[in-house]
Amino acid sequence: MKAFSATFYLFLLKNLNKTSMPSISNKAVKMPESPIRKLVPFAEKAGAKGLNVYHLNIGQPDIETPEVALNAIKNMDEKVIEYSHSAGFQSYRDNLAKYYQKSGVNVNSEDIIITTGGSEALTFGFMSTCDTGDEVIIPEPFYANYNGFAVAAGLNVVPVTASIENGFALPPISEIEKKITSKTKAIVICNPGNPTGYLYAKEELEQLRDIVLKHDLFLFADEVYREFCYDGAVPHSVMNLEGIDNNVIMIDSVSKRYSMCGARIGCIVSKNKEVMASAMKFAQARLSPPTIDQIASEAALKTPQSYFDDVVAEYVERRNIMVEGLNNIPGVFCPKPSGAFYCVAKFPVDDADNFCQWLLEEFDYEGATVMMAPASGFYSTKGEGKQEARIAYVLNQDALKAAVKCLEEALKVYPGRI
């Protein structure tokens, strides 16, 4: 037992009416929990029972990090791991600009600030453009953590629902325009999309360009999946949209591109000098992005094209196995995505949250089961996506085949099947 001093007992005695503790913030109460993490305890229990859980719930690829990046870390000869410049190493920014230019994306090094992951890039973007109570419009379903960054920055997310029947194409621009108020500061897209895998056509981006220009809004585009486009589809960057240089803010990251999610290196990119000067002040306050990880990320720019060719070919196979497999299960519908490594499928179930939990808690097929992310966490509108789940096809092809089989068998016996 801990011993308290006599003076402290005296103090307690004097303050007996003060036993309450300070309260956390409203912001903390409002802050959403990760929709995926809610299922983690059930997955852990399934694992403890000896079940083989196919993790389709998280975008952590099994693809190896390029050797050039790993070797750069191993061969590092720094004796002191020093801060970098708050905007990131100049050499990295220069070489990153060259990567964009080679990819046909209109970016120079002065348009780039290196951040701690895409997460920090979006936070800097939100903080630089939005005040408490301001609104950002986001087509839903959208990457669930956008909610977290919005709450942290004090702004409100206004969703516009995309439909699974249309493969999650951009909702009609008139629907988006209806949501614009005097508080609207930005439209946010993810292209290619997490969780939908949808790749916006040039015409859709031009519709967005017209509307942000008409209403003086910012257009944020999270383009971290740019290298993952399939069947000859070409990604169009918002940086190339004509005449809206001052409106556009691009978010990027090395996490998925080089399968180095743990490096936490991303960037915020814009030609709007005011936005970049603001982002720089937030960047200065946190001193610098991680040094070793920048060294690895700069080296990763030398990854040969063959690496991406192999990775894309692998993901096409995986997508085909998953999407065709799902669509072959009676009652399941899954649009075929052109990018990223996710798909959202609609299941013939009462409630996908229950279904996903039941898969982990009650079901197994030959000693295995599947973990998916219920889509409810990716919608901001209550009740939307109730029958849908997001699947990350980041496992090897045999595992994906087995996972599809699991789902097929599960739907035969799930009590909430409709």
If binding is defined by CB under 8 A, does position 2 make contact with a copy of itself? yes
If binding is defined by CB under 8 A, does position 182 make contact with a copy of itself? no
Structure tokens given for 365: 């097929």
Residue partners of 240: CB distance under 8 A and separation at least 6: 104, 105, 106
Q: Do residues 56 and 326 touch, judged by C-beta distance below 8 A?
A: no
Q: How far apart are the first and last CA of the chain?
A: 57
Q: Is 409 exposed, middle or buried (0-12, 13-18, 19+ CB in 10 A)?
A: middle
Number of residues forming the site for a copy of itself (CB under 8 A): 97
If binding is defined by CB under 8 A, does position 132 make contact with a copy of itself? yes
If binding is defined by CB under 8 A, does position 218 make contact with a copy of itself? yes
If binding is defined by CB under 8 A, does position 202 make contact with a copy of itself? no
**Smallest distance, Å, CB 16 to a copy of itself?**
11
The Cα 228–Cα 343 span in angstroms is: 13
Identify the residue among 33, 177, 324, 366 touching a copy of itself (CB under 8 A): 33
The Cα 307–Cα 329 span in angstroms is: 33
357-416 binders of a copy of itself (CB under 8 A): none
If binding is defined by CB under 8 A, does position 315 make contact with a copy of itself? no
If binding is defined by CB under 8 A, does position 128 make contact with a copy of itself? yes
Identify the residue among 53, 54, 57, 65 touching a copy of itself (CB under 8 A): 65
- What does residue 100 show for φ and ψ, rounded to 5 degrees? -65, -45
If binding is defined by CB under 8 A, does position 34 make contact with a copy of itself? yes
Task: Report the SS3 class of residue 342.
Answer: strand
Identify the residue among 44, 62, 94, 310 touching a copy of itself (CB under 8 A): 62
If binding is defined by CB under 8 A, does position 63 make contact with a copy of itself? yes
If binding is defined by CB under 8 A, does position 108 make contact with a copy of itself? no
If binding is defined by CB under 8 A, does position 292 make contact with a copy of itself? yes
Task: Report the SS3 class of residue 98.
Answer: helix
**Smallest distance, Å, CB 99 to a copy of itself?**
19
**Smallest distance, Å, CB 139 to a copy of itself?**
19
Helical spans, DSSP H, in 108-234? 117-129, 145-153, 173-178, 202-215
Identify the residue among 148, 351, 361, 384 touching a copy of itself (CB under 8 A): 148
Task: Report the candidate in 407, 399, 406, 397 with the shortest Cα–Cα distance to residue 315.
Answer: 397
